[in-house]
Structure 1
Amino acid sequence: MRLEVLLPSRVLLSRSGVTRIVAEMAQGSFGILPRRRDCVAALTPGILTFETPADGEVFVAVDEGVLLKAGPEVRVSVRRAMLGRDLGQLRAAVEREFRAQDEEALQLRTLMAKLETACLTRLSGLQGLARGR
């Protein structure tokens, strides 16, 4: 099989010769072998595992998304994903990444609150000027 993991901004990986794939859905894990019927699955955040003769077992931490199998092609489209060969290192990398994204989100929310306050202050000042006419 040929596996592609697609992110909004780039192709994270593209591998041929994939012998098996294991992914997670809300109902549980499911496996894909080369002769499996075509299917579409909604993925939940978790670990996607695939195996090739050259690479052995490879892990991909994925956010929620969609998996599509059509013939020998398997495409996974997710918002965020990270590759790893060791689950412990992958977990640590995911935790670091999520922590950094949480900090960025907090900074963005703080900035937006400041902008909203400044906008409301200016609008109330303009209202005061309009009433004074």
Structure 2
Amino acid sequence: MNLNILLPNKVFAKHKKVLRVIVETLEGSYGVLPNRLDCTAALTPGILTYEIESGKELYIAIDQGVFVKKGHDILVSTRQAVQGIGLDELRNTIKTEFLALDEKQQEIRFAMDKLESSFLQGLTELSTAAR
């Protein structure tokens, strides 16, 4: 199989002759072999594991994203990815960086919701005062 991992601004990794891939989805771990049916899945922050032709397993920490398998091509699109450090360090990276980012995004969404609510309330008051 051919594995391509894409970030918003670049191609993070390209690997040919991948024997199997394991990703973390919303429903749990998901393994893919070459003859598996085509599929898509939403990814959660976790570790993408893949085995290359030599039998060596490689690991990449990925943030949320999308997984697509079509024929012998696998495409992973994610916001962030980290490779080249130990498995324990990858797990810590997921906990500290990726999940912390999600908390910040939730805070931003909450603040935006408050702003929108205040804006709409102001428009309603203006509309009422103009009548």
**TM-score, normalized by length of structure 1?**
0.68
1:53 is displaced (CA, Å) by 2.2
Deviation >6 Å, runs of 4+: none
Q: What are the residue-to-residue correspondences of 1:81-96 with 2, within 5 Å?
A: 81-84=81-84, 86-93=86-93
Q: Cα RMSD over matched residues?
A: 2.5
CA shift, 1:89, in A, is 3.2
Aligned residue pairs: how many?
104
Equivalent residue runs for 1:41-120 within 5 Å? 41-54=41-54, 56-84=56-84, 86-93=86-93
The amino acid across from 1:41 in the alignment is A
Distance in structure 1 (CA, Å) of the matches to 2:93 and 2:27: 26
Contiguous gaps of at least 5 residues in structure 1: 110-133
For structure 2, the 5+ residue unaligned runs are 109-131
Q: Distance in 1 between matches of 2:14 and 2:55?
A: 13
Compute the displacement of 1:66 (Å): 0.2
TM-score under structure 2 normalisation? 0.69
Q: Please name the residue that 2:120 is paired with.
A: none
Instruction: Determine if contact 1:64/1:79 at 8 Å carries over to the other structure.
Output: yes
Compare CA radii of gyration and give the structure with the larger one: 1
